[in-house]
Structure 1
């Protein structure tokens, strides 16, 4: 069916918007933040000719032209208040190009305020691009994300220091990079007509964001680095006398309080990868290489990791081709084999408590959690098995384990036992019954060939166990998995509400394609909880719409039908 655009800016505006949305979503997912986002385009008439003073894409979405009626007036107010207006330069005034940039920034802020005040996205946080000209309009690309989700991630409070843009976090920089690329794409002919609006593969977008964020961190210390991501990768990817990289680098300003062990007579450039890799061998938990972001000037450490007026950043190198960026002890970014991402949390306490209580009916998990924390931080891969019948399991597996008199474990005991092959077997009170346990169990279809023996043997053991069991699998790379990985408990009414929302979208006249796709994706995301009747209804509605599209000369997308999950039962529903 032909598509009629009332608020017309250019012919591919709807395709452009959806492609920016999908590209930004993929980039966020690549760094470890999978969440639903929305993209909106807001264009302001820039020349004589266009019919509308302001256009909104999508024009049938929650935002309307009326929401931006006073945006330009507000932008003028913000421009008049901007500190850049107060700058006095001699002999010339503030350059026009700089003030043009300030004007774009303040109009973007006015757009952000208008969207936030509209109530269209009550749980959203809005990010707005500087804008680019297209079809007689100045078009802002706006990204709306889950405010609670992004607010829970580690980030600096402000993105600027002394009017210098330094970024807030890796996730914020991913969004900013996507917005910059969207603005750039609007200068190309018919943006949205091609396959890749953002102009690069997802990994390239993420690496560009990581480069800006890492350089911004160094700039917060007073340094002026360049491509610090590439420089550090060059260092940590080198071996020294056949040993993998392992050590610490501290990026620090001159005013930060330091404990200096040695001062280099001649500072060594960070770009001298081999020299820095050699120096990295002398670093450890107590001594780090000290750098201003461009050269290493000594060996030592910061006196305190508590924040002060002069920030410092630690580059932790745990293994080959891998490093982690930390500030005040908080991990901000992890780069492994060229892929930047948020550091994966070892294990969430709330998640651990939920699974242990549901599987083992344990109310107080304090002792068990202490043991798991010690295992996760021990520096070795290991398995902690908590069994409802640890005594019986220890006896059954005695031929392939070392039995102990039941006793509580200290943290150093946990670390010590993790050095030997096999699992550590605990009862629900945290007492150890056996170490070096070789787990048995029948092979199941639930294994993961990309994972190691610890993870897959734990899956087999848990699936075959005659008694309730929870296994905590600590990988050599520090990642922690919980077996079984139970789905979280949800409200039955929320599941039904998602099905009803899809029903409303599928039976609307006419069917709005984007709403149909979004509500269907929402149902698929919770498909584990659907019963037979709900699966059948969703499948029928979906197939009916695809058939209608084919009959109208459109394109149908066929997907595998939803089916009830055999593992689903009423225990996954919260009481209401």
Structure 2
């Protein structure tokens, strides 16, 4: 389509992976470009896909242009008419562009055996092609996080208002918007860095996500203001105390809002100090009531609220500098020190089963089921808790007896876990769920996975389990997050790795020239799976890939892959 498209696509794919893995390293993602020829030209493909080795083939996209024309057809009776000519032209273009995006998403998600959720940018015309940036993420992982169902909200003029359904979706839309602007520049891809700073994209995603609150209250002119307001309020102390409490956003006439106290003089949200002081008036069952502009009283959302309405939201202050956006008692976004974070909706039972079988080998199914059942009780502890499962639980309880409370072994149940995890320190149990110690202060060497952004409980668990076989930690933090340590990457098929290595060897020994598509198909896969390469394989790949690259038929643009270094925590267990 244009000379630098390969460079642009590779850069976008790398930056998308950085974005998604900043939010959740377990989510698989991929990015590619799609172009549709706008008019008939000789010797031009009607549909192009980059990279050449993309699993999506041009012929699979053939129905899109006709579908886009149907979905993007302007209808004055539905879409209205602007009196200004320029505004009218913009309206028609946006409807047509949305038609293309909807057609692309619908077609890609209906492909046989599709397991990806698809997001598409608006198009940019480049050398006769309508070019779209496509981002896809693993649907199964996406379901771990709560999401709204409606991406449009009603507006006074009957035109639906676009809203973000989840923080992930909001960050992806911000990312794709930056890709759009990059494509609009001359020679897109001629240089480094397409989308800019990843943290800025995530914060912009947080700002967009908060628009659901102003729309719920009917304060459409307060668009993109709420995120910074709550960062500011959460930073304030009142008489030396951190701010706790909550604010409900809704239209004051909402049928399920019950007003207990109505203020004679509403408090503007911009008066951060007054709002912070008013939080002292709330309780576990009552909240400040807000329409997006002002706090007008104290009340509650009654139990008859229909979750499908998606027109009442709650901001809960957890502690200083920490707050979260909720809908129907489910977390949409958690914010800590101004940085949005994801929160899983349910206890990660499937992930725990996976880690138990991988850390401890062939545990009996009844042991795994019982350990998962007991561990779920951790999720109910609002103050945080730490559970250690260890093959050497008995000897560890004895070794650490001066740092905890060794006990005569007893079978741990959900009820006993709720009681024994109330004290500081860790519970230490065996793989048979026998408890050997409570309230134990753990030891261990500092590890590169330790981070100042997490608390002492989390970092203590990392130091204790990393580098030690037969140990697993489940950490419930006070902010609601549940972590299973060590964090193990998803397993992949050994045959998939062996196949790529065999092809790379073949490039250097059996052919005179190497096809670019074949070379980048192999190297892009290896680059995305570095953590699955043993030290010996890393050394071999470092030796082979430059030799294979030197045999490429076309040398006009080369992507460097850098040195492959084995993960210090590498284990053959990652392959199946």
TM-score by length of 2: 0.81
2:30 to 37, 44, 61: 37
Q: Per the alignment, do residues 85 and 306 of structure 1 end up closer, same or farther by CA in structure 2, a change over 3 Å counting?
A: closer
Instruction: Using the TM superposition, name which of 554-563 and 208-217 deviates more.
Output: 554-563
Structure 1: gaps of 5 or more residues: 1-7
Instruction: Using the TM superposition, name which of 359-368 and 237-246 deviates more.
Output: 359-368
* Residue 511 (structure 1) aligns with: 516
* Residue 230 (structure 1) aligns with: 228
Residue deviations 1:331-377, cap 9 Å, x none? 11111112112125685212223334555535334554454334444
Correspondence list, 1:237-316, <5 A: 237-253=235-251, 254-304=253-303, 307-309=307-309, 311-316=311-316
* Residue 99 (structure 1) aligns with: 92
- Offset of residue 432 of structure 1: 4.0
1:130 aligns with 2:132: no
Q: Contact 1:498/1:523 (CA < 8 Å) preserved in 2?
A: no
Instruction: Using the TM superposition, name which of 138-147 and 289-298 deviates more.
Output: 138-147
Mapped to 2, the partners of 1:394 and 1:169 lie a distance apart of 43
1:182 aligns with 2:179: yes
Residue deviations 1:23-57, cap 9 Å, x none? 333333333364231221314336x9886474525
Q: Contact 2:467/2:569 (CA < 8 Å) preserved in 1?
A: no
1:434 to 437, 440, 448: 437
- Offset of residue 327 of structure 1: 1.5
- Offset of residue 275 of structure 1: 1.0
1:216 aligns with 2:230: no
Q: Contact 1:546/1:558 (CA < 8 Å) preserved in 2?
A: no
Residue deviations 1:460-495, cap 9 Å, x none? 555798x95443334444444434545555544344
1:110 aligns with 2:103: yes
2:197 to 188, 197, 201: 201
| Equivalent pairs, count | 556
Mapped to 2, the partners of 1:296 and 1:235 lie a distance apart of 13
1:524 to 522, 527, 530: 530
Mapped to 1, the partners of 2:325 and 2:37 lie a distance apart of 40
Instruction: Using the TM superposition, name which of 422-431 and 207-216 deviates more.
Output: 422-431
SS at match of 1:281: helix
SS at match of 1:95: helix
Residue deviations 1:423-449, cap 9 Å, x none? 2333445454433323456x4767736
Q: Contact 1:250/1:314 (CA < 8 Å) preserved in 2?
A: yes
Q: Per the alignment, do residues 303 and 17 of structure 1 end up closer, same or farther by CA in structure 2, a change over 3 Å counting?
A: same
SS at match of 1:192: coil
Q: Contact 2:405/2:439 (CA < 8 Å) preserved in 1?
A: yes
Q: Contact 2:118/2:134 (CA < 8 Å) preserved in 1?
A: yes
CA-atom RMSD in angstroms: 4.0
Structure 2: gaps of 5 or more residues: 155-159
Q: Contact 1:16/1:197 (CA < 8 Å) preserved in 2?
A: yes
Q: Per the alignment, do residues 413 and 72 of structure 1 end up closer, same or farther by CA in structure 2, a change over 3 Å counting?
A: closer
- Offset of residue 302 of structure 1: 1.0
Q: Per the alignment, do residues 98 and 365 of structure 1 end up closer, same or farther by CA in structure 2, a change over 3 Å counting?
A: same
TM-score by length of 1: 0.81
Q: Per the alignment, do residues 545 and 114 of structure 1 end up closer, same or farther by CA in structure 2, a change over 3 Å counting?
A: same
Mapped to 2, the partners of 1:21 and 1:558 lie a distance apart of 14
Q: Per the alignment, do residues 371 and 209 of structure 1 end up closer, same or farther by CA in structure 2, a change over 3 Å counting?
A: same
1:144 aligns with 2:144: no
2:428 to 403, 425, 431: 425
SS at match of 1:56: strand
Mapped to 1, the partners of 2:83 and 2:338 lie a distance apart of 46
* Residue 191 (structure 1) aligns with: 188
Q: Contact 1:128/1:142 (CA < 8 Å) preserved in 2?
A: yes
* Residue 378 (structure 1) aligns with: 381
Q: Contact 2:145/2:345 (CA < 8 Å) preserved in 1?
A: no
* Residue 14 (structure 1) aligns with: 6
Q: Contact 1:462/1:471 (CA < 8 Å) preserved in 2?
A: yes
Correspondence list, 1:344-363, <5 A: 348-357=348-357, 359=359, 361=363, 363=366
Q: Contact 1:446/1:459 (CA < 8 Å) preserved in 2?
A: no
- Offset of residue 274 of structure 1: 1.0
Mapped to 2, the partners of 1:418 and 1:257 lie a distance apart of 37
Q: Per the alignment, do residues 56 and 554 of structure 1 end up closer, same or farther by CA in structure 2, a change over 3 Å counting?
A: closer
Mapped to 1, the partners of 2:339 and 2:423 lie a distance apart of 31
1:496 aligns with 2:488: no
SS at match of 2:210: helix
Q: Per the alignment, do residues 250 and 452 of structure 1 end up closer, same or farther by CA in structure 2, a change over 3 Å counting?
A: closer
Q: Contact 1:487/1:572 (CA < 8 Å) preserved in 2?
A: yes
Q: Contact 1:313/1:328 (CA < 8 Å) preserved in 2?
A: yes
SS at match of 1:197: coil
Mapped to 1, the partners of 2:47 and 2:475 lie a distance apart of 53
Mapped to 1, the partners of 2:449 and 2:62 lie a distance apart of 57
* Residue 27 (structure 1) aligns with: 19
Residue deviations 1:392-437, cap 9 Å, x none? 5545544443344554567676455445443233344545443332
